[in-house]
Each structure stands twice: as C-alpha cells, then as structure tokens.
Amino acid sequence: MTATIDRDQRTAPTEPSGAHPSLMDTFRQQPKAVWVTAFAAVISFMGIGLVDPILNTIAEALGAPESKLTLLFGVYLGIQVFAMLITGWASYRFGPKKTLTVGLLLIVFAAGVSVLGTNIDQLIALRVFWGLGNALFMATALAFIVGEAKGGERGAILLYEAALGAGLAVGPLLGALLGTFAWQAPFAGTALLMLIGAILCAIMLPTDKPRAARPAVGFTAPLKALRNPTLAITGVGAAFYMGALFTVVAWSPLALSAASKASGHGGVGPIGVGLVFFGWGALTAVTGVFLAPRIADALGQKAGVIVSIALYAMIMGVAAIGVGIHSVELIGAAVIASGIPGGVLNSLFTSVAMSSGSADTPRSVSSAGYSFLRWMGGAASAMVVAFIASSFGAPAPYWFAAAYCVIAIAVVSLVRLGKADDEPVAPDAALIGAEEM
C-alpha cells in the first residue's frame, strides 16, 4: 500500500545498517507523536478481527442472511481497492497529518453510528466509510512513524511490528469479550478508542510541511505502475491468494457455527470464534515477521511464495472436510493453522512485488498499484462466498479457496525475478502485506 517507505523520503535518524535495536531500546526513546500514532495503529489493526466473533450474533439480532453478512467484509475491502488510487494523492494534497486524522475520524463515525444500526444494510453502508478511513490512515501511519521515530528505520519498523502483532491478536479477543454483552459493544469500544487516537493525533502530531515540500502523486500513478508486467503478474497472483484468505475471514465464523449446530451443540459464541481468530491473528503476525525471511533465505522469494500457497491450499482442503463432517475442532484448527502460511505470504508476496518494481517508480506508487489488484481479489471473494455456499454446499467455499490457490501458483510461476529472487525480504514487507487485512 502507499505506506511503503521510499528510500529517498526517509527522514528518521540513521543508524549503522547492521544495527538491530531491541524492542525495549526502541520503546525507551520514542517521542510522544510516535507513541500516539502507534496507539492509533494498534486500534486500527484490532478492527481487522473485530467483526468475526460477533458475526453470528449480528445474524441473529438483525435477521441477516449469510449473503449480507459477508458483504460486511466485501464492501470494506472493495472501497479500499479504489482508495489505493487516492491515498497517495490525498497525502500530497492535504498533508500526512490531515490525511491520517481524517481517516481516524471516518472510522470513529462508522463504528459509532454502527451502534445505532437497526438492520444489516445500514452496517454494510457504514463499512464503506470504515474501509475508506482505514485506507487513509494506514497509507500514512507507517511512513509517519519511520519519519519521526528515534533509532533509525529498523527501530521504527520494529515498533510498528509490535503494533501489528498487538492489534491482530487483541482485536478478536476484544470483539469476543464485548460481544458477549451485545453485538453493538465492540463497535462502541472501537469508536471510543479511535476517537481518543484521533484527538491525540490532531493535537500532538507535528504540523504538515508545505505542499511544495511534498512529493507530487497523481490519481493514475498506481495504475501506470502496473505497466511493469512483473508487478502486474505478481498482483494478479496475490489477488487469487487474497480470495482464499478472505474466504477464511468472511466464511469461517459462519461455518464454525453451522458445524456446531449440526452436531447438536448450538452455535459457536463470540468467545469461541474470538479465540480461533486470536490464534489466527497471532500466527499471522509472528510468521510474517520472523518465519518469512528464513523461508526466503532457504528457498528464494518466488519458491517460498509457491510452497506457502500450496500449504494454504491443503489447509483449505482440511477446512472443507471439517465442514463436511461438522467438526468444529477441525475447522477451527484449519483457520488457526492458515495463519502460518498466511503470514509468510503477506511478507513474501509484497517483497516479490517490491523487488519487481521499476527503478524510476517510487516504492509507494508500486505498492499502491499492487495493492489495487490484490485487494480486488479479496473483495470479490468476500462478496461471492455466501453465494458459493448456497449454490454448491457449505464446504464449497473452502474448495473454491483451494482452487484460487492453485491458480495463484500458476500465475506466480510466470514471474521472472532474476537476481532479485535472492534479495533479503524488505523489513517493512510484513507490515505492508498485513496492514489492511
């Protein structure tokens, strides 16, 4: 996404290239503005898994069909597809601070008004604003932290990694705990925390530089970046993988509950779903940061992507079998396990895309074009997953997800990286890959 750091725009204090600051060292020296942005990033990442634990509760309370429940994810992702084309321009036109703060306020509005929702259509409409707000915030948060943090680029990324891990893991748990009171409670909690973050950002972040001092970015720059065939092919491959990923995110809460009811135990409550997605989020964050570089070193980036997608396809097959035999345990285990290749793919796919970018195209622009394609796959998958289930049976979404993975492997096999295949994974690849899930 446009949060990718351009090497010629970094302003954070430098350090020796081989230095690897510890997380505690990084924490001790940060200015307040960095802490404020990191706090808001944690809350934004929490929103990724917030809805999953309460999806079944929303269905019961509002009488919502599965086709509309999955649209909560589809429209959220869909708006971010097109937001890829405006976030860079907005940051240039209005400044990073204003863009970031407006994004937070849009999330506050969407989450807060969701508390008052009386039907599923209202919640779907509000997810449009939520997705736009998330895109505007995440487009600038990482770049801002890198520009302001003490301890150099690696220290700043380490801090952002901590925010990512905390948000992915805590979000489903918060949604589950608050969801035991009412389905509206997680939305209210998110709105309150985001409001605090928005106020702090508006007060404590430094004033934006004049527009003349910011690099110009146009609406069509991300699309022009896709003239690079390697970047475009990688984006198409990532789109099919994202179709599988958001089958897991959008369909699994419903599949877990249906399997539990079919086995005579009643639906799976918010706590059960929250624990499953807590495991998924934690593994996604950890493997993206720590396992992906090791796999790339051992196999190369392209081969690492192909092997990880193949593993994801096998896990989707296990999930489909779990649905077929009404095994909550097997479905839950598959969802959690999918976080392992999922985290690796978030990092390696992004690293492959950035390695294939043109030298005369800023990384932020290449990343926006790549994200435009990959999130299109996620949005399409979330929109059709319920239709697939109703047409072909409850296990079908996972079999389709496995098929998406096979197509992704075929597409990625066409990528030609050359020497770039042996380059180390970019330190921010895990963050860019996961920041909008």
Query: How far is Cα 228 from Cα 209, in angstroms, rounded to an integer?
Result: 32
Q: Where are the alpha helices (DSSP H) in 300-357?
A: 301-324, 328-355
Separation of alpha carbons 310 and 287, rounded Å: 16
Q: Does domain 30-206 have CATH number 2.60.40.10?
A: no
Quick: pLDDT tens for 157-190.
666 667 777 888 888 999 999 999 999 999 999 9
| In contact, 366 and 4? CB cutoff 8 Å | yes
Q: Residue 320 pLDDT more than 50?
A: yes
Mean local confidence (pLDDT), 365-371: 82
Domain ranges of the chain: 30-206, 216-417
Q: Which CATH number fits domain 216-417: 1.20.1250.20, 1.20.1440.120, 3.50.50.60, 3.30.565.10?
A: 1.20.1250.20
List, for residues 387-403, the tens digit of each pLDDT value: 999 999 999 999 999 99
pLDDT at 157: 63
User: pLDDT over 70 for what percent of the chain?
Assistant: 83
Cα–Cα distance list, 183 to 102, 186, 411 (Å): 26, 7, 41
Q: Is the CB of residue 295 less than 8 Å from the CB of residue 304?
A: yes
Report how far residue 276's alpha carbon sits from residue 274's, in angstroms, rounded to the nearest whole number: 5
Residue 394: what are its φ and ψ, rounded to 5°? Answer: -60, -35
The 3-state secondary structure of 86-155 reads CHHHHHHHHCHHHHHHHHHHHHHHHHHHHCCCCCHHHHHHHHHHHHHHHHHHHHHHHHHHHHHCCCHHHH
The mean pLDDT value for 286-295 works out to 87
pLDDT band at 17 (very low <50, low <70, confident <90, very high): very low
Say if residues 117 and 151 touch (Cβ distance below 8 Å). no
- In this chain, the answer to whether the domains covering 30-206 and 216-417 adopt an identical fold is yes
- Mean pLDDT along residues 65-72: 93
Average predicted confidence (pLDDT) for the chain: 84
CB proximity list for 117: less than 8 A, separation 6 or greater = 62, 123, 126, 184
**Interior CA angle at 124 toward 119 and 127, to 5°?**
130
Look up residue 299 and give its two tokens.
């196999």
